[in-house]
């Protein structure tokens, strides 16, 4: 168990990553698509001898440089900071398995930043042919960054049988290429490339809308129509690539989408289905607005229209990223690591290799936790012994059902269980709030729910999107006590000191 200490109230740690990632994807994919747009448009203008285009493109290049090199780079660093806090075990897995890939990506990224600056600052200062070569160099290196990042991101959903066969053995890096070129690599790469081309057109409409349609009607009409055409490849090819992508997704993960589609009529469709529907509707709206307002009436296309299209693109990006994340549930790395950082695959402990779920159930989830003091661990052991004696007497019929008093140390153990296994996806009162989810349940009802999560039976309604709860019987009972105190206040068996702890 890594450090379960990053508690983000209200929105949870997952949405910190999500909010940064949504804007980063909008900008980073523009950095790739826009990097192709600029040299392509410049070559077209040079070929046709259009000086007016060559006067407009440096302005778009300046906007491109500021947005991608400043905001794109900063948001990229923000993602690393956020995932390192929210999911340290998963981040460590990605780093250790793809050290070589990350190193190459950073080399390409440095070349990308350098050529972007050189491309903008050398307009009309170096020969056109040389300037164009700089632009094509940028386009190539930016696409290679996408190529590498796509392999790592798609690995998280489909690591592949070859990598899973050695997961936990210490030989994972020997399967670098099998993990990189995983089952969803190519369909994901095609989908992201189409998104890059679309966003190149969407962002170009923003700067093109600022052209004076009365002073330069021909230029504005041509630039807007040229930019609008960049959405065509996605319009025709994205449905086919999406079907291809779904065919490569494991059946266990497609169930989340299929279940939602089959229950749309009843209004109970899943979050991943809702996200996909928002993506489809917002993308279709973008195409309609671009065609009827931008392409057919380019001279009247205003900045406000461009911003509206940009908002729709942001909605499509947000819903797509949410669907991609939800499709991995209950894993953060498919079939290897659950969203609470517990590994499904075997881990080596000394001379023993055992699935981590079984090890935690046998030895305890908090046994080796560095976040519990020795005094707390001693109190847990004493309480467990009392609980075991009470259970023996009750089984023999020599005593009524009695529970040892609940102490602050037992609440602390339940809180650590919550932080380690639940906090990655839930909050107490905000996003996916435990207080609302468990409202109306007493301690026994909460205990029964936790027992169902711990068993994680094949027919369990929670199995498809929640990881199994791990730990000893007494650790799970401590979690039930803490949740009961959270929802209903301290129980009758609690010591006087617990009321203050529960209130805090």
Contact 468, 359 (CB under 8 A): no
Q: Where are the beta strands (DSSP E) in 296-362?
A: 331-333, 337-338, 346-349, 352-355
Q: What angle do CA 150, 153, 154 make, to 5 degrees?
A: 80
- Sign of the Cα torsion 401, 405, 406, 410 reads negative
Overall residue count recorded for the chain in this entry: 504
SS3 352: strand
Give residue for tokens 């296994």. 421
Look up the pTM and report it: 0.90
pLDDT tens string, the chain, 504 residues long: the values are: 455 568 888 899 989 999 999 999 999 999 999 999 999 999 999 999 999 999 999 999 999 999 999 999 899 999 999 999 899 999 999 999 999 999 999 999 999 999 999 999 999 999 999 999 999 999 999 999 999 999 999 999 999 999 999 998 888 889 999 999 999 999 999 999 999 999 999 999 999 999 999 999 999 999 999 999 999 999 999 999 999 999 999 888 887 776 655 445 444 456 777 788 889 999 999 999 999 999 999 999 999 999 999 999 999 999 998 888 888 989 999 999 999 999 998 887 777 788 899 999 999 999 888 888 999 999 999 999 988 888 787 777 765 656 678 889 999 999 999 999 999 899 999 989 999 999 999 999 999 999 999 999 988 888 888 999 999 999 999 999 999 999 998 765 555 555 555 555
Helix (H) or strand (E) holding 440: none
SS3 295: helix
């Amino acid at each position: 168990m890594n450090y379960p200490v990053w508690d983000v109230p209200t929105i949870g740690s997952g949405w910190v990553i999500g909010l940064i990632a949504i804007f980063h994807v909008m900008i980073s994919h523009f950095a790739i698509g826009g990097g192709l747009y600029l040299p392509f448009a410049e070559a077209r203008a040079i070929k046709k001898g259009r000086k007016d285009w060559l006067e407009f493109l440096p302005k778009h290049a300046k906007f491109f440089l500021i947005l991608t090199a400043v905001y794109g780079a900063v948001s990229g660093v923000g993602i690393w900071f956020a995932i390192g806090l929210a999911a340290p075990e998963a981040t460590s897995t990605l780093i250790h398995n793809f050290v070589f890939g990350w190193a190459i990506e950073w080399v390409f990224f440095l070349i990308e930043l350098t050529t972007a600056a050189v491309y903008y600052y050398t307009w009309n200062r170096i020969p056109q042919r040389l300037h164009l070569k700089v632009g094509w160099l940028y386009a190539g290196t930016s696409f290679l960054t996408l190529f590498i990042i796509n392999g790592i991101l798609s690995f998280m959903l489909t690591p592949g049988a070859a990598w899973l066969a050695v997961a936990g053995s210490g030989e994972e890096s020997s399967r670098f290429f099998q993990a990189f070129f995983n089952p969803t690599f190519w369909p994901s790469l095609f989908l992201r490339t189409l998104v890059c081309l679309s966003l190149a057109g969407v962002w170009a409409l923003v700067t093109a809308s600022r052209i004076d349609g009365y002073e330069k009607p021909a230029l504005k009409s041509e630039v807007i129509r040229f930019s609008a055409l960049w959405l065509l490849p996605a319009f025709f090819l994205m449905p086919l690539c999406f079907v291809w992508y779904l065919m490569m997704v494991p059946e266990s993960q497609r169930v989340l989408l299929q279940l939602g589609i089959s229950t749309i009529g009843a209004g109970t469709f899943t979050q991943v289905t809702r996200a996909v529907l928002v993506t489809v509707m917002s993308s279709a709206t973008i195409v309609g607005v671009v065609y009827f307002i931008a392409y057919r009436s380019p001279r009247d296309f205003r900045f406000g229209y461009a911003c509206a299209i940009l908002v729709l693109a942001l909605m499509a990006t947000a819903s797509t990223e949410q669907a991609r994340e939800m499709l991995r549930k209950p894993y953060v790395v498919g079939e290897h690591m659950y969203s609470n950082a517990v590994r499904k695959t075997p881990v080596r402990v000394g001379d023993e290799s055992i699935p981590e779920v079984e090890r935690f159930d046998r030895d305890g989830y908090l046994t080796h936790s560095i976040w519990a003091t020795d005094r707390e661990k001693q109190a847990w052991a004493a309480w467990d012994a009392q609980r075991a004696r009470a259970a023996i007497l009750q089984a023999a019929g020599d005593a009524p059902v009695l529970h040892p008093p609940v102490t602050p140390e037992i609440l602390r153990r339940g809180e650590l269980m919550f932080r380690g296994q639940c906090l990655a996806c839930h909050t107490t009162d905000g996003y996916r709030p435990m207080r609302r989810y468990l409202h109306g349940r007493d301690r026994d009802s909460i205990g029964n729910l936790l027992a169902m999560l711990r068993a994680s039976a094949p027919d369990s309604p929670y199995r498809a999107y929640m990881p199994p709860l791990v730990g000893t019987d007494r650790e799970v009972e401590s979690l039930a006590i803490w949740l009961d105190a959270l929802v209903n206040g301290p129980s009758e068996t609690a010591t006087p000191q617990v009321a203050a702890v529960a209130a805090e």
